[in-house]
Structure 1
Amino acid sequence: MAVVTALRPTRGGVAVDLDGVTWRTFAVAVVVEAGLGVGLELDRPRARALARARRRHRAEQVAVRALSRREHSRRSLDMRLERAGVGDTVRADVLQRAERGGLVDDQRFAEHRARQLAERGAGDLLIVDDLVRQGLDEAVARTAVSDLQTEAERASAIVERRGRSARTLRYLAARGFSDDSLEPLIADIGSGALR
């Protein structure tokens, strides 16, 4: 069996020497988790522990990079990790740790995403649909929508900007506004007041 003869700090982590020859460089967290130390044999159990620690560290790096760019739901982060080739067990562990650490919170994600879509002119139907497609429970999606300015108020603001027209009505309908919110415009068109 090869013996760890040196652990040297490097710019990229820790260089591991086996039997006096530089073998590989690992992240500090990987070396610590695997329990590597000078004078220890790199036997089969320790090599397995090292491989597990490397896989988990890589998965954590993928998750941190994704979360540093934008908020993610648990499902969207899970899909990101799966696309990166992270195995089921490691993925579940990383997701659980991210949730415990507050990095992933579906309720917070739903509120943020709902606000973002509402500001872009989306109606409640579109927002709920988007949140459900992001992997959130429909009840969580509806709660996030209920915390927004009412759909009728948002529709009214869009009508103010775009004008009262059939074109605006089509725009709002395409953006997921409900019939109840569109009723005043529909009534105007039905009465011939708008074209």
Structure 2
Amino acid sequence: MQEVTDRDNKVSSLRLELSNKDIEGANERLQYESQINFLNAQIESLNEKSELLQTNNCDLLKRIEYAELSKVTDITNLEEEIRCQQDLQRILKSSLEETKNAADHFKDQLEAQEAVLAEVRTLLQEHQEEMDQERTKHAKSLSQLEEELARTRSELDQVNVMMKSMSEVKLNVSEEELSGLAPAAAETVKFLKAANH
């Protein structure tokens, strides 16, 4: 019984641990999803800015074409502006790649956490199956013990009846007759007869 109780306590402890891990995993999952959503929003914003910069570059190139007959200073300024826009675009592209890498990293962590939780659930299920088998085995053994106890009590009742009867007839019942009624009673008769002699 103590073994079953210890196993039940262990199962309860594992279930509580799994529940805590589920809660912890859910919280981490929410955090990761929130961070991923935030990073996706940043990616979308950076994409929009990149598209806007590309549009601006196209506009600037057109302005250069229109300004070819204009002053050299104006052309130089426009070219410098294009270089600045291109530098900014490279920076934004680098930031976009870093953001994507961070999102992939958070996704990998989330998948790893889910794998750990799945393994814990599997271990708990295997342990529960072992406990069920042990409980069934214990119940069968207990049933056999109860049957044996019932037989012993029945024989004891027969012995008590025979002892009372033998007391009234001064132990005139033979051992053979008594052993035919209750196997355990024969030894008792031998003991009582020996005591009377």
Q: TM-score, normalised by structure 2?
A: 0.26
In terms of fraction of residues, the more strand-rich structure is 1
The structure, 1 or 2, with the larger RCO (C-alpha pairs under 8 Å, 6+ apart) is 2
Q: TM-score, normalised by structure 1?
A: 0.26
